[in-house]
Structure 1
Amino acid sequence: MDKKILIWSVTAALAGFLFGFDTVVISGAEKELQSIWNSSDVFHGVVVIGMALWGTVIGAIFGGIPTNKLGRKKTLFWIGILYTVSALGSCLANDPYTFAFFRFIGGLGVGASTIAAPAYISEIAPAKDRGKLVGLYQFNIVFGILIAFLSNYLLNNMGDNAWRWMVGIEAIPAVIYTVFVLGIPKSPRWLLIKYRNSEAKQVLKTINPNADAELLMDEIKQEMKNTVANETIFIKKYRLPLMLAFFIAAFNQLSGINAFLYYAPRILEEAGLGESTALLSSIGVGLTNMLFTLLGVFLIDKLGRKQLMYICSFGYIISLSLVSAAFFLNWEGSAMPVFLFMFIAAHAIGQGTVIWVFISEIFPNHLRGSGQSFGSSVHWVLAAIVPSFVPALFSIVGAGIVFAFFAIMMVLQLVFVKYMMPETKGVSLEGLSKKLINE
Structure 2
Amino acid sequence: MNKSYTTFISLIVALGGFLLGFDSAVISGAVKGISIYFNMTDEMLGFAVGCVIFGAMAGNLMSGYFADKFGRKSTLIVIAALFVISATWSALATNYTEFIIARIIGGVGIGGAILIAPIYIGEVAPANLRGRLVSFNQLNIVLGISVAYFSNYFLVNYGEESWRWMLGVEAIPALLYFLFLFLVPKSPRWLVQQCNKVAAAKLTLERIGGKEYADQTINEIQQNINLSESKGRLSDLFSSKYTTIMIIALGIAFFQQITGINAIFYYAPTIFEQAGGSTDASFLQAIVVGLTNLVFTLVAIALIDKLGRKPLLLIGTSVMTVALLMTTFAFNKATYSFSEDNMAKITNEETKQLLQPLSNNTYNSQTLLFNAVEAQLSKEQFIDFKRNQITNLISINAPLVLISILLYVAAFAISLGPVMWALISEIFPNKIKGIAISVVGFFNSLVSFSVTQIFPWELSNLGPTLTFAIYAILSLLAFLFVAKYVVETKGKSLEQLEQLFLKTK
Fold shared by both chains (TM-score > 0.5): yes
Q: Which amino acid counterpart does residue 310 of structure 1 have in structure 2?
A: L
Asked whether the 8 Å contact 2:46–2:456 carries over to 1, the reply is no
Superposition deviation, residue 373 in structure 1: 1.7
C-alpha distance in structure 2 between counterparts of 1:395 and 1:152, whole Å: 24
The answer on whether the counterparts of 1:142 and 1:286 sit within 8 Å (CA) in structure 2 is: yes
Relative to structure 1, the CA distance from residue 404 to residue 421 in structure 2 (aligned partners, 3 Å threshold; closer, same or farther) is: same
1:387 pairs with one of 421, 428, 452: 452
Q: What pairs up with 1:40-119 in 2 under 5 angstroms? A: 40-41=40-41, 44-45=44-45, 48-119=48-119
**Contact conserved, 1:90 with 1:168, CA < 8 A, in 2?**
yes
Alignment check: 8 A CA contact 1:67 1:115 kept:
no
Counterpart of 2:379?
none
Q: Displacement, 1:114?
A: 0.9
* Structure 1 residues 273 and 92: alpha-carbon distance in aligned structure 2, compared to 1, 3 A threshold: closer
- Contact residue 308 and residue 490 of structure 2 kept, 8 A: yes
Name the CA shift for 1:325/1:223 in 2 (closer, same or farther; >3 Å): same
| One-letter identity of the residue aligned with 1:259 | A
Q: Which residue of 2 aligns with 1:24?
A: 25
- 1:428 paired to 2:493: yes
- CA apart distance, 1:248: 0.7
- Change in Cα spacing, 1:159 to 1:134, as seen in structure 2 (3 Å) is same
- How many equivalent residue pairs? 438
For residues 35-434 of structure 1, the aligned pairs below 5 Å read: 35-36=36-37, 38-41=38-41, 44-45=44-45, 48-156=48-156, 158-159=158-159, 162-194=162-194, 195-232=196-233, 233-268=237-272, 277-330=281-334, 332-394=397-459, 397-434=462-499
Aligned AA for 1:18?
L
* Matches of 1:334 and 1:166, distance apart in 2: 28
Distance 1:302 1:44, change over 3 A: same
Indicate how the Cα distance of structure 1 residues 186 and 400 shifts in structure 2: closer, same or farther if over 3 A, else same: same
Asked if the contact 1:256/1:406 (under 8 Å) is kept, the reply is yes
Alpha-carbon RMSD across the aligned residues, in angstroms, is 2.4
Separation (CA, whole Å) in 2 of partners of 1:138 and 1:436? 25
Q: 83-92 vs 387-396, which deviates more?
A: 387-396
Secondary structure of the residue aligned to 2:230 is coil
What amino acid sits opposite 1:77 in the alignment?
I
Task: Tell which structure's C-alpha radius of gyration is larger.
Answer: 2
Q: Distance in 2 between matches of 1:204 and 1:398?
A: 54
- Alignment partners' CA distance in 1, 2:152 and 2:267: 19
Q: 1:223, 1:430 within 8 Å by CA — same for their partners in 2? A: yes
Q: What CA distance in whole angstroms lies between the structure 1 residues aligned with 2:460 and 2:92?
A: 39
Is the partner of 2:212 in helix, strand or coil? coil
Distance 1:405 1:149, change over 3 A: closer
Q: CA offsets per residue over residues 22-58 of structure 1, 9 Å max, x none?
A: 222233444334444x433257426644432311121
Conserved in 2, the CA contact under 8 Å of 1:56 and 1:112?
yes
Query: Helix, strand or coil: the match of 1:209?
Result: helix
CA deviation profile, 1:333-356 (whole Å, cap 9, x unmatched) = 422221111111111111112111
Q: TM-score, normalised by structure 1?
A: 0.91
Instruction: Give structure 1 stretches of 5+ with no counterpart.
Output: none
Per the alignment, do residues 76 and 158 of structure 1 end up closer, same or farther by CA in structure 2, a change over 3 Å counting? same
Unaligned runs of 5+ in 2: 335-395
How far apart are residue 162 of structure 1 and its match?
Answer: 4.2
User: 1:100-125: CA deviations, max 9, x gaps?
Assistant: 22221111001110111000000000
Letter in 2 for 1:183: L
Distance 2:401 2:90 in 1: 37
From the superposition, tell whether residues 129 and 388 of structure 1 become closer, same or farther in structure 2 (CA, over 3 Å): same
CA contact (8 A) 2:52 2:105 kept: yes
Counting aligned pairs with the same residue, the percent is: 39
Deviation at 1:302, TM superposition (A): 1.3
Measured against aligned partners, the alpha-carbon deviations of 1:379-418 in whole angstroms (never above 9, x if no partner) come to 2111111233334445555544433332232232222222
Distance in 2, matches of 1:155 and 1:278, equals 14
Q: Residue 12 of structure 2 corresponds to which residue in structure 1? A: 11
Q: 1:119–1:369: 8 Å Cα contact kept in structure 2? A: no
Query: Which stretch of structure 1 is more off in the superposition, 313-322 or 14-23?
Result: 313-322
Q: Is the 8 A contact 2:119 2:425 kept in 1?
A: yes
Give distance in 2, aligned partners of 1:79 and 1:56: 11
Question: SS of 2:498's equivalent?
Answer: helix
